[in-house]
Structure 1
Amino acid sequence: MNIIKTIACTCALLFSTVAYSQTTLRVATWLPATSSQNDVVWPTWAKWVEEATEGRVKIELEYGSGHPKTMFGLVEDGVADVSFSVNGYLPGRFKLPAVVEIPGGVADPEALSVAIWRVYKQHFEQAHEFDGLKVLGKFVHGPGQLFTTFEVNDLSDLQNRKIRTGGGVVNELAKRLDVVPVFAPVTKVYEMMQQGVIDGVFLPAQELKYSRLSEVVTDVTLFPSGMYTTVFTIFMNPEVFEDLSEADQQAIMSVSGEKLSALAGRAWGASDAKGLDEAREMGVRIKQLTENDPLTLQFAERIKGMNEAWIESVADRPVDAAAALKDLHRIAEAYLAENAQ
């Protein structure tokens, strides 16, 4: 009898030790379950993390966490362990990664996501813009395009129109296009367009499906290289990270960084085709511009000088901004060429 009790106690102790060694990271998300971030990126990363840590670390999604601009604070304060958000929602704090948002050049989101991660590690990390956060990855969505409730045949058609913008370089673009910017999270766009609060929006094509915008827009204008993109950061509470064993820290970073950035860029970019298919089914007019289309040429004129404007805007940061910009384009072009083979 004593032997049985001893074995039972030993088994219970072993079980409690195993249970104690397991950690669940709470991931705050502000997008719906159908979004590519929640449907593809987080589940894939969760699988990678669990495999890399041999089951010691698990991921749990927490939906409806609030406005995306609050995600940085939620993680810094320990309310959530991990999240992601748009850098541009906190203007002035994260200025350097906006380099990847400038229109022109490579538009492939996977290539740009890899490029901005490498440029961050090489050029921007030393500027300490992300102090208070453990940066796990960076990525961009597919090329931002123009969705409107009216047909656009000339950029002058946009003058004084109310267009939703979300922060970052797109706000500078709005000025150059003479639109009236209306600031709001993407989760509010459907309602605002339905009620006539705004006349259009700059967003990637995926939102035609995932935010159901194909129900409230009449026209989609697709620029060959897009109009802009938006940079996101995936981050973790540094204290929670440090509380993990060194082995688990290394395991998590082995499936984060460039690997996670590429995954997110690839997933978000792949969703654009689904958005356009949805718009076609809903009878939305889709205008695919060519490189020589008058609208494309007009747009190219409007964005001249944006590289120089970004370099000037980060003059207070201890980085070689011109070198970072050059490296970003070089890395993106090389990555695209390598993966096209």
Structure 2
Amino acid sequence: MTRLTKLASLMAGAAMALSASIATAADYTLTISSWTPPTHGINAKMWPAFIKMIEEATDGRVTAEVKLDLVPPPAQIDLIEDGGADVSIIFHGYQPGRFVSAKLIELPGYPGTAERGSVTHWRAWNQYFAGLDEHKGVKLIGLTTHGPATLHTVDPVASLDDIKGLKLRVPGGVGSDVAAALGATGIQVPAPKVYETLASRAADGVVITTESRKGFRLTEVAKHMYDMPGGLYRGSFAIIMNPDTFDSLPADIQQALEEKVFGEPLSAAFGRVWDEIDEIGIEATRAQADNTITVASEADQAKYKELTKAIIEKVIAEVAATGVDAQAAYDFMMQEMSAQ
């Protein structure tokens, strides 16, 4: 198990500093690999929430500390599998073709919050997808999805028609399918590179979370946000752990983590943070006099619903090709997301 001697510098929030002091008294210290900027919500809120959960579940015997930028975002899963760190969060879209089932939760049209989406994601995985073993080599300890994604552009976008011909940074997964359907040209770069991509005008905009207006400083380089109610898509993430690290822990600690932290509790906790930081992104946008928020017209909402039917059908077919009942899984997700 990797042990750290100090917390990575510039971590946001007093919770991180508190965890660093507790770490010296813990029996086991996990290394968290994080790939977002220091002040991003993943570092400022998600990892502190995770650390608090594992400390409380184990009566302080297990804690964790964060290291930044050990490897690029797409390489996080290999880092954890190889034991270079103990825990990380991965975006499924960075590994095209590997996490096929994850695309189902990313589809547009679901109602509800990121917290509800994250819980639904975990429940659907347990019921339909666990047997696919898509996370082979690592221990899956949680699933989460960010809130409804929005479009952020250098120049104003007033309608769906304005998106045609734009060069957009796309995330992979369903987000990339959506951009293509809207007539945009997609370029794929990891989220931490979004700011420089837009600042250099290598792209006209980005489809990404609302929280990114604060977390990735989009208020500076993409001053206009186009909001499709219900979201353009949702992004799928997994919280993963090195299995040897977990196996090396005493049985009572393993049990405490499995019962009190891993699975639905952790998924829900990360979902709540996505919801919280989306609001922070909205506030950051409204605080800038030169930033704008345009909500899609009812006509464009109806047009988008019709346009994305083909994407939904395509993804259901892709997931069905793995051997699971993809239509049943999609219906289950829609029912779970609607039950709020």
TM-score by length of 2: 0.89
| Corresponding residue of 1:284 | 291
The amino acid of 2:184's aligned partner reads V
| 1:126 lines up with 2:134 in the alignment | no
Asked if 1:238 corresponds to 2:234, the answer is no
Equivalent in 234, 242, 255 of residue 250 of structure 1: 255
Q: Which amino acid aligns with 2:295?
A: Q
Aligned amino acid, residue 100 of structure 2:
K
Aligned residue among 206, 211, 218 for 1:206: 211
- CA RMSD after TM alignment: 1.6
**What letter is aligned with 1:274?**
I
Distance 1:228 1:276 in 2: 18
The answer to which of 126-135 and 300-309 deviates more is: 300-309
Shift of 1:20: 11
Provide structure 2 residue ranges, at least 5 long, that are not aligned to the other structure: 1-23
Deviation at 1:66, TM superposition (A): 2.5
**1:318 and 1:126 mapped to 2: Cα distance?**
10
Checking the alignment, whether the CA contact within 8 Å between 2:158 and 2:226 is kept in structure 1 is no
1:213 Cα deviation after fit: 0.6
The answer to whether the Cα contact below 8 Å between 1:153 and 1:295 also exists between their aligned partners in 2 is no
Quick check: 1:109–1:269 contact (8 Å CA) kept in 2? Answer: yes
Partner of 2:200: 195
Give the unaligned 5+ runs of structure 1: 1-18, 337-341
Q: 1:295 aligns with which of 288, 291, 300?
A: 300
Structure 2 residue 70 is the aligned partner of structure 1 residue 94: no
Question: What one-letter code is carried by the residue in structure 2 that aligns with 1:215?
Answer: E
Percentage of identical aligned residues = 36
After superposition, give the CA deviation of every residue in 1:83-135 in whole Å (9 maximum; x if it has no partner): 01101100111110210100002141111100010000111001111111110
CA contact (8 A) 2:58 2:257 kept: yes
1:137 aligns with 2:142: yes
SS at match of 1:221: strand
**Larger mean Cα displacement after TM superposition, 85-94 or 46-55:** 46-55
| Structure 1 residue 176, shift from structure 2 partner | 0.5
Please tell me whether residue 259 in structure 1 is matched to residue 287 in structure 2.
Answer: no
Between stretches 247-256 and 89-98, larger displacement belongs to 247-256
Could you say which residue in structure 2 is the equivalent of 1:269? Answer: 275
Return the alpha-carbon distance in structure 2 between the equivalents of residues 87 and 164 of structure 1: 16
Q: Deviations over 1:145-174 (max 9, x none)?
A: 011112223322212211000111111112
- Structure 2 residue identity aligned to 1:234: I
- SS at the partner of 2:46? helix
* 1:224-235 equivalence runs, <5 A: 224-235=229-240
Aligned partners of 1:311, 1:185: CA distance in 2, in Å?
A: 26
Q: Residues 159 and 296 of structure 2 are in contact (CA less than 8 Å); yes or no, is this contact kept in structure 1?
A: no
Which portions of structure 1, spanning 4 or more consecutive aligned residues, are displaced by more than 6 angstroms? none
Q: Deviations over 1:204-241 (max 9, x none)?
A: 11111111110112311111111101000000011111
Q: Rg bigger for which structure?
A: 1
Distance in 1 (alpha carbons) for counterparts of 2:331 and 2:48: 34
Letter aligned with residue 302 of structure 1: L
- Structure 1-normalised TM-score? 0.89
Distance 1:333 1:23, change over 3 A: same
Q: 1:78 is matched with which residue: 78, 83, 94?
A: 83
Deviation at 1:262, TM superposition (A): 0.7
Conserved? CA contact 2:158–2:296, under 8 Å? no
How far did 1:194 drift?
1.1
1:73 and 1:132 mapped to 2: Cα distance? Answer: 9
2:71·2:79 contact (CA, 8 Å) conserved in 1?
A: no
Deviation at 1:21, TM superposition (A): 8.5
In structure 1, how many angstroms separate the alpha carbons of the residues matched to 2:225 and 2:114? 20
1:177 aligns with 2:182: yes
**Which secondary structure state, in structure 2, belongs to the residue aligned with residue 305 of structure 1?**
helix
Q: 1:160 to 1:249 in 2, by over 3 A?
A: same
Say whether residues 1:309 and 2:314 are aligned partners: yes
Contact 1:83–1:235 at 8 Å: present in 2 too? yes
- Partner of 2:96, secondary structure, is coil
Counterpart residue identity of residue 149, structure 1: V
Number of residue pairs matched by the alignment: 315
Counterpart residue number, 1:327: 332
Letter in 2 for 1:42: W
Q: CA deviation at 1:314?
A: 2.1
CA distance in 2 between partners of 1:172 and 1:318 (Å): 22
Write out aligned runs for 1:11-90 (5 A). Answer: 22-90=27-95
Deviation of 1:144 after TM superposition, in Å, equals 0.5
Q: Deviations over 1:13-60 (max 9, x none)?
A: xxxxxx999211111000122222211121122122112112221111
